[in-house]
C-alpha cells in the first residue's frame, strides 16, 4: 500500500476514526443529527456504513431497479421536459402550449381549474370565483378540441392532473382525439386518477372513497384493453409533501396507495401483468437534496419488493417504478422571489440525480400567481441547461456508491417499509384513510415544520434570515375571471342549443343506471355521453345522483406547534399576552378559519387553526368548499372576534369581495383577515373592502398572532 508521510491509508483512517470518537465523547462536536423523518444523519460516512446493505451491487434496468428503470438511463435518452400549465380559456392555454413546445418542451402537462376538478360546469353558482383561475376551464369536448388545436395527439405525450372529474375529462380527451383523426390506441400520456391522495391531502374529490375506487378500476380496465400506450394512473406523493409530509411519509403512503390500486384492480378480475406495467408515479422534490435523490432510489426498490411479495407478477415491467417529478411549490417564497430560481435548480438536479423519467420545474413567481411566459421560460430553460450543458446525462446513476447516498437510501427503505407494513396491517390505504391515521401524521409533520421555521431553527433565505430590504416587485399574470366565465357560459349555451338533446339525455341515463346497478364500464359510457356533447358537469352529476358528493370535516391538531417550537421564551410571551386578554375579557380570543370556493388546499388553514389553538385562541375551522353566504352563516353561529380566510387558488378577489359585501348587512361585529397566496397588488384592494390584515406566504405565526391579538383589542372591526 502507498505510504503518506510514513503511514499507510489504513493507518490514517484508523487515526481519523479515533479523532472523531474523541470529539464525540468530549462533546466538542455534534457529529450526528436526526432528520424530520426520524433518520439519524452522521457528519461522516465510510465504507463501513455500506456493510450488509440489501440494495447494493444492483445494475440499472434490472430488479430491484434502485439505479434506474432503464439500463442506459439518460445516456440513451434524457428525461422528458414537461411544464404543468393551464390558465383561463382553452384558446389561451393552447397558444401557451404551442409556444412552449417550440421552446424545447417535450410533453404537455395540463392544469385544470378547480371548477373542472370538482365536476362543476362554469355556469354553476358554487364556482363563481374559481373559473379559469388556477388552471384551464374545460366544460366539454369542444373546449378540449380547442385546447389541443394544431397539436398532433398521436405524437404528443399528454399528462392530465385530474382525479375528481376523471371520467368526463378522460372521455372528452378521447373524443377530441377521435375528431382530430387519432385513434385512442395511439394516444400516449398519463391521467393522474389517484383519488386516495385526494382524500389524504388535496381534497379535489367528488364522490366517496368506495365509489371513487370503482371509477379507478374501470379506467384501468378500459385503458389496459384499448389504450396500450397510455398510463392509466399516476400514483402521487407530490401533494403529500406539499401538504407537509416528510419524505418517509411521502414515500410510504405513495407506495401504499399504489399497492391499494393494484389490489382493487386484481379483485375486480384484472390480471396484474395486464395493467401494472402502465402504472406510473409522481413525487415532489424539495430542498433536502440528498434525501430527495435517495428517496427516488428507495422508491424503486420498495415498489419492486412489495409487488413481488404481495402479487408475484411474471412480467418484470410490473415491478418497475417509473416516475414523473415536480420541484416543490411549498419551498417557493413570496419574499425575495428570485431566490426561487436557485431553489428550483437545486431541486431539479436532485430529481435528475435520483433518476426521474420526466420533470416539471416550477416558475419563480408561483408563490404569488400563475407563471408568466417569461418565468415559465426560465423554468423550462433550467432543464434545458441541465440536459445540454452539464454532461449529467452521460453517466447512469452518478451518485451510486456514495457512502452517504447509499446509506441514506437504505435508511429510507427501512423507515418507509415499516410505515407501509403498518398501513397494510390496517387493511390497506383506504382503511387507513378512513380511520385518519396517515392524515394525522401528515398534519403533525406540517405543524412541526412551521414551528421550526418560525423559531428560526430552520432557515429560509430571504424569509426568516438574510432579508432583502430593497425588494422590487415584478410582473405577474392576471386572469379576468369574470370575462373567462362569460366566455365559458356562452360556449356551454351554444353546445346545448346545437346537440341532440334526446340522445344526450339517454347517454346520461345509461351512465346513471350503470352506476346504480354496478355493471358496465363507466369510462366507456362516459365516452358515449361526451360524443353526444354532454358537459363535464352533466356527466359528473349523472354519477353524483347515485354516489353522492363527499364532504370531509377538517380537524384541529393540538399540542404539536407549541411542543415543536424551540424558543420557549417567545412561546411563553405570546401565551402570557393571550392569558392577559382572557382575564380582562373573561373569555379567550375567538377565531374562525375558513376556505372559500373549490380550493381544497387546506395545509395553511389547518396549520393556522392548530397553532393558534396551541397558543391560547378559541379556534374553529369550517368545512371546505364554502360559498360566501355559507361562511356568513358559520360566523353567525360562532360569533368570533376574527374570521380568517385562507386563499391558495387566486379566487380571493371575487369571493372575499362577495363576503365583505354580505358582511355590510350582518349584525355581528368581527375582524376579517386573509392569508395565503395573495399578490401584493391585491392587498390594498382587499383592505379597501374592509379586510384588516393580509398575511402572505412565509408569515411567522408568532408575529401574526401578536398582530391579530392587537387588532382584536385595539383595531377597528369590520362591521362596514
Phi, psi of 284 (to 5 degrees): -85, 150
Residue 121 and residue 131: Cα distance in Å, rounded? Answer: 9
- The pLDDT score that the predictor gives to residue 641 is 95
- The pLDDT score that the predictor gives to residue 82 is 84
Return all residues near 60 (Cβ < 8 A) that are at least 6 apart.
67, 68, 69, 70, 71, 72, 73, 355, 396, 397
Annotated active-site residue 498? The verdict is no
- What residues pair up with 671 in beta bridges, in sequence order? 642
Q: Which three cell numbers stand for residue 224?
A: 389496459
> Alpha helix locations (H) across 360-500?
373-389, 403-425, 429-434, 437-454, 481-498
| Residue from 145, 197, 239, 449 carrying the catalytic annotation | 239
| Residue from 117, 305, 595, 606 carrying the catalytic annotation | 595
Model's pTM, two decimal places? 0.92
Q: Which three cell numbers stand for residue 212?
A: 371513487
Annotated active-site residue 324? The verdict is no
Residue 217 three-state SS: helix
What is the C-alpha end-to-end distance of the chain, expressed in Å?
A: 84
- The pLDDT score that the predictor gives to residue 361 is 96
Q: How far is CA 252 from CA 282, 351, 712, in A?
A: 13, 18, 43
Annotated active-site residue 117? The verdict is no
Residue 50 and residue 638: Cα distance in Å, rounded? Answer: 58
| Residue from 599, 614, 641, 658 carrying the catalytic annotation | 599
- The pLDDT score that the predictor gives to residue 591 is 97
Answer whether 484's CB lies under 8 Å from 478's CB.
no
The rounded Cα 570 to chain-centroid distance in angstroms is 32
Residue 63 and residue 665: Cα distance in Å, rounded? Answer: 66
Return all residues near 406 (Cβ < 8 A) that are at least 6 apart.
49, 50, 53, 55, 56, 400
Annotated active-site residue 648? The verdict is no
Residue 90 and residue 492: Cα distance in Å, rounded? Answer: 13
Q: Which three cell numbers stand for residue 108?
A: 404537455
Return all residues near 487 (Cβ < 8 A) that are at least 6 apart.
89
Q: Which three cell numbers stand for residue 618?
A: 378559541
Place of cell 376574527: 642
Report helix, strand and coil shares of the chain as percent, to nearest 5: 55, 10, 35
- The pLDDT score that the predictor gives to residue 556 is 92
| Residue from 84, 97, 541, 670 carrying the catalytic annotation | 84
- The pLDDT score that the predictor gives to residue 27 is 54
Residue 234 and residue 197: Cα distance in Å, rounded? Answer: 11
Residue 145 and residue 373: Cα distance in Å, rounded? Answer: 23
Give the helix/strand (H/E) hosting 542.
Answer: helix 536-547
Residue 573 three-state SS: helix
Cis amide bond preceding 322, omega within 30 = no
Say if strands 358-360 and 590-595 run parallel, antiparallel, or are unpaired.
unpaired
| Residue from 120, 238, 561, 670 carrying the catalytic annotation | 238
Q: Write the burial class of residue 213 (CB in 10 Å: 0-12 exposed, 13-18 middle, 19+ buried).
A: buried
Q: Write the burial class of residue 195 (CB in 10 Å: 0-12 exposed, 13-18 middle, 19+ buried).
A: buried
Phi, psi of 326 (to 5 degrees): -135, 135
Answer whether 429's CB lies under 8 Å from 201's CB.
no
Place of cell 432583502: 468
Residue 579 and residue 444: Cα distance in Å, rounded? Answer: 25
Annotated active-site residue 599? The verdict is yes
Q: Which three cell numbers stand for residue 286?
A: 424539495
Residue 536 and residue 538: Cα distance in Å, rounded? Answer: 6
Annotated active-site residue 11? The verdict is no
Q: Identify which of 213, 192, 204 has the alpha carbon closest to the alpha carbon of residue 261.
A: 213
Answer whether 351's CB lies under 8 Å from 82's CB.
no
| Residue from 197, 263, 306, 601 carrying the catalytic annotation | 601
Q: CA neighbours within 13 Å on the CB side: how many for 455? A: 19
- The pLDDT score that the predictor gives to residue 25 is 57
Give every strand in the sheet of 618-621, ordered side by side: 618-621, 590-595, 642-647, 671-676, 693-695
Residues in the chain where the model's pLDDT stays below 70: 1-7, 9, 12, 20-31, 86, 649, 665-668, 715-720
Amino acid at each position: 500500500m502507498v505510504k503518506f508521510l510514513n503511514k499507510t491509508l489504513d493507518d490514517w483512517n484508523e487515526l481519523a476514526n479515533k479523532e472523531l470518537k474523541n470529539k464525540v465523547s468530549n462533546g466538542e462536536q455534534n457529529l450526528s443529527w436526526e432528520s424530520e423523518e426520524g433518520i439519524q444523519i452522521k457528519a461522516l460516512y465510510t465504507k463501513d456504513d455500506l456493510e450488509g446493505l440489501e440494495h447494493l451491487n444492483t445494475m440499472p434496468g434490472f430488479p430491484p431497479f434502485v439505479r434506474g428503470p432503464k439500463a442506459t438511463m439518460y445516456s440513451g435518452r434524457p428525461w422528458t421536459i414537461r411544464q404543468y400549465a393551464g390558465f383561463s380559456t382553452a384558446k389561451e392555454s393552447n397558444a401557451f402550449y404551442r409556444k412552449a413546445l417550440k421552446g424545447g418542451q417535450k410533453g404537455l402537462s395540463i392544469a385544470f381549474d378547480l371548477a373542472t376538478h370538482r365536476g362543476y360546469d362554469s355556469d354553476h353558482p358554487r364556482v363563481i370565483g374559481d373559473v379559469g383561475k388556477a388552471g384551464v376551464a374545460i366544460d366539454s369536448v369542444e373546449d378540449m378540441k380547442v385546447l389541443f388545436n394544431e397539436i398532433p395527439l398521436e405524437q404528443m405525450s399528454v399528462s392530465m392532473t385530474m382525479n375528481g372529474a376523471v371520467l368526463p375529462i378522460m372521455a372528452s380527451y378521447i373524443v377530441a382525439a377521435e375528431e382530430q383523426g387519432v385513434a385512442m390506441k395511439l394516444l400516449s400520456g398519463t391521467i393522474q386518477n389517484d383519488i386516495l391522495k385526494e382524500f389524504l391531502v388535496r381534497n379535489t374529490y367528488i364522490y366517496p372513497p368506495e365509489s371513487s375506487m370503482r371509477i379507478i378500476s374501470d379506467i384501468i380496465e378500459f385503458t389496459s384493453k384499448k389504450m396500450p400506450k397510455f398510463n392509466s394512473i399516476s400514483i402521487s406523493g407530490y401533494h403529500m409533501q406539499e401538504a407537509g409530509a416528510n419524505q418517509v411519509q411521502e414515500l410510504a403512503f405513495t407506495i401504499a396507495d399504489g399497492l391499494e390500486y393494484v389490489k382493487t384492480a386484481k379483485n375486480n378480475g384484472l390480471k396484474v401483468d395486464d395493467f401494472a406495467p402502465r402504472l406510473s408515479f409522481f413525487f415532489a422534490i424539495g430542498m433536502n437534496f440528498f434525501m430527495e435523490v435517495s428517496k427516488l432510489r428507495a422508491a424503486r426498490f420498495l415498489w419492486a419488493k412489495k409487488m413481488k411479495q404481495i402479487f408475484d407478477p411474471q412480467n418484470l415491467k410490473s415491478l418497475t417504478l417509473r416516475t414523473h417529478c415536480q420541484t416543490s411549490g411549498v419551498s417557493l417564497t413570496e419574499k425575495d422571489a428570485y431566490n426561487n430560481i436557485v431553489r428550483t435548480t437545486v431541486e431539479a438536479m436532485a430529481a435528475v440525480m435520483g433518476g426521474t423519467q420526466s420533470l416539471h420545474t416550477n416558475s419563480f413567481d408561483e408563490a404569488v400567481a400563475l407563471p408568466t411566459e417569461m418565468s415559465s421560460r426560465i423554468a423550462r430553460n433550467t432543464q434545458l441547461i441541465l440536459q445540454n450543458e452539464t454532461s449529467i446525462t452521460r453517466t447512469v446513476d452518478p451518485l451510486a456508491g456514495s457512502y452517504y447516498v447509499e446509506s441514506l437510501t437504505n435508511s429510507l427503505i427501512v423507515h418507509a417499509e415499516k410505515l407501509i407494513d403498518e398501513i397494510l396491517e390496517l387493511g390497506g390505504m383506504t382503511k387507513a384513510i378512513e380511520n385518519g391515521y396517515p392524515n394525522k401524521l401528515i398534519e403533525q409533520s406540517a405543524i412541526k415544520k412551521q414551528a421550526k421555521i418560525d423559531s428560526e431553527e430552520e432557515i429560509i433565505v430571504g424569509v426568516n434570515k438574510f432579508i432583502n430590504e430593497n425588494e422590487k416587485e415584478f410582473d405577474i399574470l392576471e386572469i379576468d375571471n369574470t370575462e373567462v366565465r362569460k366566455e365559458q357560459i356562452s360556449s356551454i349555451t351554444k353546445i346545448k342549443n346545437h346537440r341532440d338533446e334526446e340522445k344526450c339525455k339517454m347517454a346520461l341515463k345509461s351512465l346513471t343506471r350503470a352506476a346504480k346497478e354496478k355493471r358496465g364500464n363507466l369510462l366507456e359510457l362516459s365516452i358515449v355521453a361526451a360524443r353526444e356533447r354532454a358537459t363535464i358537469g352533466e356527466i359528473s352529476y349523472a354519477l353524483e345522483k347515485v354516489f353522492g358528493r363527499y364532504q370531509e370535516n377538517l380537524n384541529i391538531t393540538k399540542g404539536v406547534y407549541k411542543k415543536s417550537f424551540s424558543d420557549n421564551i417567545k412561546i411563553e410571551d405570546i401565551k402570557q399576552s393571550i392569558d392577559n386578554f382572557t382575564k380582562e375579557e373573561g373569555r379567550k380570543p375567538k377565531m374562525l378559519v375558513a376556505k372559500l370556493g373549490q380550493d381544497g388546499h387546506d395545509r395553511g388553514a389547518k396549520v393556522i387553526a392548530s397553532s393558534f389553538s396551541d397558543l391560547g385562541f378559541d379556534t374553529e375551522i369550517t368545512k371546505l368548499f364554502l360559498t360566501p353566504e355559507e361562511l356568513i352563516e358559520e360566523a353567525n353561529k360562532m360569533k368570533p372576534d376574527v374570521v380568517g380566510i385562507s386563499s391558495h387558488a387566486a379566487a380571493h378577489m371575487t369571493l372575499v369581495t362577495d363576503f365583505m359585501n354580505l358582511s355590510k348587512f350582518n349584525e355581528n361585529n368581527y375582524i376579517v383577515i386573509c392569508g395565503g397566496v395573495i399578490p401584493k397588488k391585491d392587498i390594498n384592494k382587499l383592505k379597501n373592502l374592509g379586510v384588516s390584515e393580509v398575511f402572505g406566504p412565509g408569515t411567522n405565526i408568532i408575529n401574526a398572532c401578536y398582530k391579530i391579538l392587537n387588532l382584536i383589542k385595539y383595531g377597528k372591526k369590520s362591521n362596514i
